[in-house]
Structure 1
Amino acid sequence: MKTETLRASWKRPATYRVTLPKVVLAIYLLLAILASVIAPQNPYDPLQIFAWEASSLPGTVSGGGYLYLLGTDGLGRDILSTVFYGLRISLFVAVTSTVLAALIGMSLGVIAAYLGRWADALIMRVVDLQLSLPTMLVALIAIVTLGPGVDRIILALVIVQWAAYARVTRGVAMSEANKAYLDAARLLRLPPLRIIFRHLLPNSIAPAITLIPIELGHAVALEATLSFLGLGVPIDKPSLGSAVANGFQYLMTGQYWISLFPGLALFGLIASINFVGEDVRRRFDPRSL
């Protein structure tokens, strides 16, 4: 009786819970989406920036009566507005690159498993080569080769991320490739592409789904690192990484707030994504039951 009850509890789907990381991540998403509406100023519009109010302390009231809640940077830009706009760029780059990498990686994984032979050997040798190299090294080589720009850094992050999805999906697809439903599809002489993407892929992507939130946090961190090094998004398109970099030169003069608040926002974003990702992994990974 106890054994039957335990087995039933394994099959029972986990109830949805509202947790602090989910609430924080939802707030971040809303701030990014509504940045142009709720931000006090556009920090990259010269007409809204007052150079004489540069490096104002947090809580300073401007001559026009405006409150700089988090202070201003060395050019007079409102730090709070910079954080809101930086969230938009950072999340756009991370989400876009993660989705594209997942689609490409999972597709190549099932193609390798289904075709086998030379296709499997070629794809998996490329995967093994990329995963054997440090992630940051691959990202630096890609972004230096492609050049600066939002679209270029998205492509660089896709190059970094796709291999992990391909390896995980290929492993599951190998076990699915010899099952009865695929044998029936072959007997019906369905086109190989239809078998791969209509039948094999949907039954092989569940473990790879658990990688998406983890790789999303990884993409945010990578973009911030590249932008901090001056290799990420252009200076006229703010991200949290470039906002931290803008204040780095002022740390020695005691103007800590220029880097501190964008850095805290970046830390909170990555932490909330990782906590939500762990919850997703527990819900989709059968080994965690």
Structure 2
Amino acid sequence: MKALILRALNRRPPLPALTLSGIILATFVLMALIAPVVAPQNPYDPLQIYGWEASSPPGTRGSGGYLYLLGTDGLGRDIVSCILYGLRISLMVSVTSAAIAALIGLTAGVSAAYFGRWVDIVIMRLVDLQLSLPTILIALIAIVTLGPGIDRIILALIIAQWAGYARLARSVALSETNKSYMDAALLMRLPTSRIILRHLLPNSIAPAVTLIPIEIGHAIALEATLSFLGLGVPIDKPSLGSTVANGFQYLLTGQYWISLFPGLALFGLIASINLVGEHLRRRLDPRSRPI
């Protein structure tokens, strides 16, 4: 009886956690999309920034008519505006890098499974080499080599993330190559590109769908770490990571708000993405479902 009760409880989906995380994530995405409309200030426009109001505490009424609800940073930019515009950059960088890394990793993994032999050996040795190193170290080496800039950060994150997709895609594609539709495609002498792109790759994508949300959250954290180390988004681009980094030097002077509020937004964004991604993995992965 006890086992039946526990089994019934395990079958109930975590609706409160899923609903809350989904609402939080949707709110972050919506705020990023409408940031130019709802932001009190454009942190990119020097005409709207008053340097003499730098490091103003939360609740200060500025000379330009702004109410600095969360205060200003060391450059005089409104923290609320920096968070709203920072969401745009953080989401754009993470989503773009995760999508391109998934495409490259899936193609490499499927190619390794299909061709085998030396192609499989070369690709998987590169994957094993990269996965043996910390992701942040790969990203640091890439960004130091490529130089600063948002486009280079995206490229560095792609380099740091593609290997995970490749290993996952290869393991799935190996099982797909033994199925009857693959034998039929080979008997029909279809072109190799068509077999990979029209048959093998689409049937190997499903597991990667559960990995993409997690990697998006990982990319946001990596971008924030690079910005905190001074190697990420430039100081004049208010990503969440760079905003937190800009306020770190003011913590000892008691100006906590410059880093605290963007840090809370960064934590909420990553947590909501991970929770939604975990629920998606449980729904799509049969092995994670309760018996």
Shift of 1:16: 8.9
Q: SS of 1:182's equivalent?
A: helix
Alignment correspondent of 1:263: 263
Alignment correspondent of 2:176: 176
The amino acid that maps onto 2:61 is V
Shift of 1:236: 2.4
Aligned residues: 277
Provide closer, same or farther for how the CA distance between residues 276 and 238 of structure 1 changes in structure 2, counting only shifts above 3 A.
Answer: same
The amino acid that maps onto 1:233 is V
Q: SS of 1:163's equivalent?
A: helix
Shift of 1:202: 1.2
Q: SS of 1:19's equivalent?
A: helix
Shift of 1:245: 0.8
1:10-36 per-residue CA deviation (whole Å, 9 max, x = no partner) reads: xx9x89986000000001001111111
The amino acid that maps onto 1:246 is N
Shift of 1:75: 2.0
Alignment correspondent of 1:55: 55
The amino acid that maps onto 1:30 is L
Alignment correspondent of 2:94: 94
Give me the whole-angstrom Cα distance separating, in 2, the residues matched to 1:25 and 1:181.
Answer: 39
Which residues in structure 2 correspond to 1:109-128 (within 5 Å)? Answer: 109-128=109-128
Alignment correspondent of 2:35: 35
Q: SS of 1:210's equivalent?
A: helix
The question of whether the paired residues in 1 share the 8 Å contact of 2:235 and 2:246 is answered with: no
Which sections of structure 2, spanning at least 5 residues, go unmatched?
1-10
Alignment correspondent of 1:211: 211
The amino acid that maps onto 2:221 is A
User: How high is the TM-score relative to the length of structure 2?
Assistant: 0.92
Identity score, percent? 75
Please identify, of 44-53 and 85-94, the stretch whose mean Cα deviation from structure 2 is larger: 44-53
Which residues in structure 2 correspond to 1:120-139 (within 5 Å)? Answer: 120-139=120-139
The question of whether the paired residues in 1 share the 8 Å contact of 2:144 and 2:231 is answered with: yes
The amino acid that maps onto 1:178 is N
Give me the whole-angstrom Cα distance separating, in 2, the residues matched to 1:183 and 1:286.
Answer: 26
Give me the whole-angstrom Cα distance separating, in 1, the residues matched to 2:64 and 2:237.
Answer: 27
Moved >3 Å (runs of 4+):
14-18
Please identify, of 49-58 and 274-283, the stretch whose mean Cα deviation from structure 2 is larger: 49-58
Alignment correspondent of 1:235: 235
Shift of 1:66: 2.4
The amino acid that maps onto 1:39 is A
Which residues in structure 2 correspond to 1:151-166 (within 5 Å)? Answer: 151-166=151-166
Provide closer, same or farther for how the CA distance between residues 139 and 64 of structure 1 changes in structure 2, counting only shifts above 3 A.
Answer: closer
Which sections of structure 1, spanning at least 5 residues, go unmatched?
1-11
The amino acid that maps onto 1:253 is T
Alignment correspondent of 2:5: none
Give me the whole-angstrom Cα distance separating, in 2, the residues matched to 1:210 and 1:32.
Answer: 23
Alignment correspondent of 1:277: 277
The amino acid that maps onto 1:114 is Y
Give me the whole-angstrom Cα distance separating, in 2, the residues matched to 1:242 and 1:68.
Answer: 19
Q: SS of 2:52's equivalent?
A: helix
Shift of 1:232: 0.7
Alignment correspondent of 2:78: 78
1:35-72 per-residue CA deviation (whole Å, 9 max, x = no partner) reads: 11111111121100112222111011123442110011
1:208-259 per-residue CA deviation (whole Å, 9 max, x = no partner) reads: 2111111110000000000111101122222101000111111111000011
